[in-house]
Each structure stands twice: as C-alpha cells, then as structure tokens.
Amino acid sequence: MIDGVPELEDLGDVSGKSVLVRADFNVPLDGERITDDLRIRASLPTLRWLLERGATVTACSHLGRPKGEANPAYSLDPVRGRLAELLPEVKLKENLRFDPGEEANDAAFVDQLVAGHDVYVNDAFGASHRQHASIVGPPSRLPSAAGRLLAKEVEVLLGLRERPRRPFVAVMGGAKVSDKLGVIEALLAIVDSIVVGGGMAYTFLAAQGHNVGASLLEADMIDACRSLLASGATIHLPEDNTALGPGGKLLDPGAGGEVRQVGRDIPDGWMGVDIGPGTAAVFGDVILDAGTVLWNGPLGVFEDERFAAGTRAVAEAVAETRAFTVIGGGDSAAAAKMFGVDNDVDHISTGGGASLELIEQGDLPGLAALRAAGKRLTT
C-alpha cells in the first residue's frame, strides 16, 4: 500500500469478477485522430494485470469538457478504436461527462456507474484531483484499489516532496502566474531554487519594476510575485528575452513583425514570447548542476519555431543532466516529445493539474477516497 492506499494486490482474487477501471483517456485529438496516446498506453499495465487474472474489465473516462450533455465531438470512439487495437477484451463506457451527475458527484450517478461491477480500480491519475462521481464515489460502494499508473505517479511525485536529491530545481513556465501561485509557494518550501520562464515570467519582471511592453501580464498578481521575490528564495528570472514586434502574430510568421533579442525591459508595443539565448544558457547550467529537476510548463511559445529555442534548450538540458528528472504533464510533456527527449526523462507525469496539486497538497481527493476504502478492505 502507498500511504494507506490499497493497490491491486490488496484486492485478493479477482478472477471471474467484473472490474470497473476509471482511466484518464482525456487524450489530445485532431478531429477524430489521437495525436498522443500516452495516456492510453500508460493504462495498459493495470488493464493487463486484471485480464491476466481472469477479471472482466470495463474502463470509463471523461474526454474534454462537454458540460453534462451528450455531444459527438467529445465521443470516446477514437479511444475505443485505439483500445481495441491494444487490448480488445476491454470494454469502454461512453464519456462520463455526458451526464451532469459526473461533475456534480451525484450519488445516483455513482450507483448507476458501479451497477453490475464487483470491484473498482482508479488508474486515472490525471483526474484524481477532481471531486467527481467516478473518482470519489465508487470506493464507498465497492472493494477498491489504485492501479499501477496511479501508484507510480504518487510514488514519484510524493518522493519529490519527501526525499529529493539536492539541489532540487523547479523549472516553471506556462502562461499564467495565477494557475501556479499555490504550487510555487509550496515548492519554495521544498526546492533549492526555482527557474521561471514562459508568459508568467513577465508578471515577475513587472514586479521588479521592469517594462514588459505588450507581453502577457497579470496585473492583479504583481503583489503576489513581489512577495515571492522578497521571500529570500532563489528565483531565477529571464535576463534576456526574444520579443515579437508590433504587427507580428504568434504562430503566423507570414504576418510579418520583427523578432529581436531584448534585455529585461521589453520595449512598448513589443511582446516577450521566449527566454533569450543568455537566459537559456543560465537555466541550462542550473539544470545540469541539479540533483532533482521538476519541469512544468514551456518557457516560450514553442509551437512557433521562432520562439521554440528557450523551451528546446531547457528540454535538452533536462535530457542531459544526471539529475532525477520529472516532467509535470501537459504542454511540457508535449514539448519534450516534440524535441525528441521524452525517452531521456525519468518520469513524465500523465497529469498536469493533478501533478501540481499532489505536489502542493501532498494528497488528492481520489487518493483520500481509496484510503477510506482501504480501511474497510483490511477490517
């Protein structure tokens, strides 16, 4: 058991049982084409373990945010197709969020979900920070356990909180400070330094009194950034930036607009959209000297080749360093894949919000529900 959370072995004999597996098959789609099946492949160890022991397996998941209504654009059919290629024995229910009871954590919806099943397994790490019916409901109805993926994620991410190899460096990027303030505050108590890039760096630079031009700025977060900077923690900010000039458009090089390297101050009308080469080198050195690296969020608009260099340099440093390296889901995982370094990282989390919340809080609603079920299993 991981900290009171039952695992598959704790379920006893599952042969002949009907097992409901909550997975996170919220995969990126381009129309009906799955552009990254990591979350499907990551669920296979649990699904196989159950099948090999003679269980009948039904999986369920959400996909996107259809807001409680059936909507063919959010159908799980593409996932069903991929799953049929990988493990045809597994049945898959339709998108849980087609029913408003899922997000409302409605008791009648939980009853409907577990009907006909003998055992519940939560392997949906990426959704375990949600108080939704399929995550927190079934453990009060059925013998329940964490699947392999959930257990592995918890072991690695809680390990970062509890016994990191030092120095421990967190590399934080992405657009908004407001999304990450809680986790940055929590990380400051754990890490030796934080490296900040991406859109959110400009709110930090503004808090230091720099001109940020037309860059992303969350004015209501400036005070919060100022207190973080005054806390005495080691926070590395960009010393130079790649900026896009007036008239330019992101993801559209044909639209014109000049691209230029600037310092900490961004000229009026210009938009900082990537860390500059000097900063990329400094950040790379910090990563190479680390004992543990947690990376969450791109350092620039890497989907636009003109502004990919900062994120690429960080991805390469994360691949090269001898540190234990963890990528916290979503965009940074996509970036690691795009730059071909995804196999050189120790752990790529399948959860974005969930990984940050687990590091921040040390627990998740889905784990708490399983822990309560675990007490019943053992008494």
Catalytic residue annotation: 39, 176, 330, 353
Look at residues 250, 198, 203 and name the one whose alpha carbon lies nearest to residue 226. Answer: 203
Two structure tokens written together for 81: 């197709």
Phi, psi of 90 (to 5 degrees): -85, 130
Q: Is 28 a residue that touches Mg ion (CB under 5 A)? A: no
Binding residues for ligand 3PG restricted to 7-46, rule: CB under 6 A: 24, 26
Q: Minimum distance from CB of 354 to ligand 3PG (Å)?
A: 7
Binding residues for ligand 3PG restricted to 315-374, rule: CB under 6 A: 352-353
Q: Minimum distance from CB of 352 to Mg ion (Å)?
A: 5
Binds 26, which of ligand 3PG, Mg ion, none (CB < 5 to 8 A, cut-off by type)? ligand 3PG
Q: Which stretch binds Mg ion (CB under 5 A): 140-148, 175-183, 223-231, 348-356?
A: 348-356
CA dihedral defined by 167, 173, 177, 179, rounded to 10 degrees? -100
Binds 65, which of ligand 3PG, Mg ion, none (CB < 5 to 8 A, cut-off by type)? ligand 3PG
Residue 134 or 321 having the CB closest to ligand 3PG? 134
Binds 277, which of ligand 3PG, Mg ion, none (CB < 5 to 8 A, cut-off by type)? none
Q: Is 65 a residue that touches ligand 3PG (CB under 6 A)? A: yes
Q: Hey, what long-range contacts does 29-37 have (CB within 8 A, 24 or more apart)?
A: 29/78, 32/77, 32/78, 33/78, 34/78, 34/79, 34/82, 36/334, 36/337, 37/82
Q: Minimum distance from CB of 63 to Mg ion (Å)?
A: 12
Binds 41, which of ligand 3PG, Mg ion, none (CB < 5 to 8 A, cut-off by type)? none
Q: Minimum distance from CB of 353 to Mg ion (Å)?
A: 5
CA distance readout (Å), 75 to 20, 29, 64, 68, 224: 19, 11, 9, 13, 40
Q: Is 353 a residue that touches Mg ion (CB under 5 A)? A: yes
Identify the DSSP state of 266: P
Identify the DSSP state of 137: S
Phi, psi of 139 (to 5 degrees): -60, -20
Residue carrying the six token digits 């967190």: 170
> Mask: binding to ligand 3PG, 173-202, rule CB under 6 A, as x and -?
------------------------------
Strands of the sheet containing 271-275, edge to edge, are: 259-262, 241-244, 271-275
Q: Minimum distance from CB of 121 to ligand 3PG (Å)?
A: 17
Identify the DSSP state of 125: G
Residue 27 or 55 having the CB closest to ligand 3PG? 27
Q: What's the Rg (C-alpha) of the chain?
A: 22
Look at residues 3, 9, 46, 6 and name the one whose alpha carbon lies nearest to residue 25. Answer: 46
Residue 65 or 322 having the CB closest to ligand 3PG? 65
Q: Minimum distance from CB of 180 to ligand 3PG (Å)?
A: 14
CA distance from start to end of the chain:
15
Residue 292 or 349 having the CB closest to ligand 3PG? 349
Binding residues for ligand 3PG restricted to 113-132, rule: CB under 6 A: 126-127, 130
Residue 47 or 183 having the CB closest to Mg ion? 183
Two structure tokens written together for 4: 């009171």
* Residues of the shown chain interacting with ligand 3PG in the complex, contacts defined by CB under 6 A: 24, 26, 65, 126-127, 130, 352-353
